[in-house]
Amino acid sequence: MSEDRSLQVSGTIDAPPEKAFALLADPGRHTELDGAGMLRGLDSGGPVTAVGDEFVMRMNQDGIGDYAMRSEVTDFEPGRRIAWAPSIHPPGSLAHIIGELDPSGHTYGWELEPTPEGGTRVTHTYDWSGVTDEGALALYPRVSEEQMAASIERLGEAAR
């Protein structure tokens, strides 16, 4: 198995970067963008405006069921870049499923670049290189390149 611990997918959408960024910065709209089908809705937090902002999403996955993730914004440049690092919320709430494994240390990132035609070149990155629990690495990746591409497509549809 490769030691590469990230996936990156790019695509072009027919919407300006500012519209796409507004959706990405509003966790209340993330269910519209979710190509993996895991997001169930925003539990707390609002539109993010800076590194360090937090939001909590309700989630659901086969084999896990309902749970929540608290995300902290790790990169924020309006109209250009945004990223967040999710962690189980509250800590330990999935111990009955994953035991003492610590799956924290992964990020979801988005980079937006305007195109000459008025659209946006979107690069979506899923990086789990920060996961330090060797046992938890078996849980990754949690999303596929196809699901990430679907998220880019859904971002384009929602931003029109």
How close are the terminal C-alpha atoms of the chain, in Å?
40
β strands within 30-101, DSSP E:
39-44, 54-61, 65-77, 81-89
Please write the tens of the pLDDT for every residue from 76-86: 999 999 999 99
- Structure token digits, residue 45: 């937090």
What is the pLDDT at residue 29? 98
What is the pLDDT at residue 1? 39
Residue 146 CA to residue 152 CA, distance in Å, equals 10
**Domains present along the chain, CATH in parentheses:** 6-159 (3.30.530.20)
pLDDT average per 10 residues of sequence, the chain (160 residues): 83 98 98 97 97 98 94 98 97 91 95 98 98 92 97 98
The answer to whether the beta carbons of residues 154 and 20 sit under 8 Å apart is: no
The answer to whether the beta carbons of residues 17 and 116 sit under 8 Å apart is: no
* pTM of the entire predicted model: 0.93
The answer to whether the beta carbons of residues 104 and 87 sit under 8 Å apart is: yes
Residues of the chain with pLDDT > 70, as a percent, come to 99
What is the pLDDT at residue 70? 98
- Neighbour order of strands in the sheet with 39-44: 6-13, 120-127, 107-114, 81-89, 65-77, 54-61, 39-44
What is the pLDDT at residue 63? 85
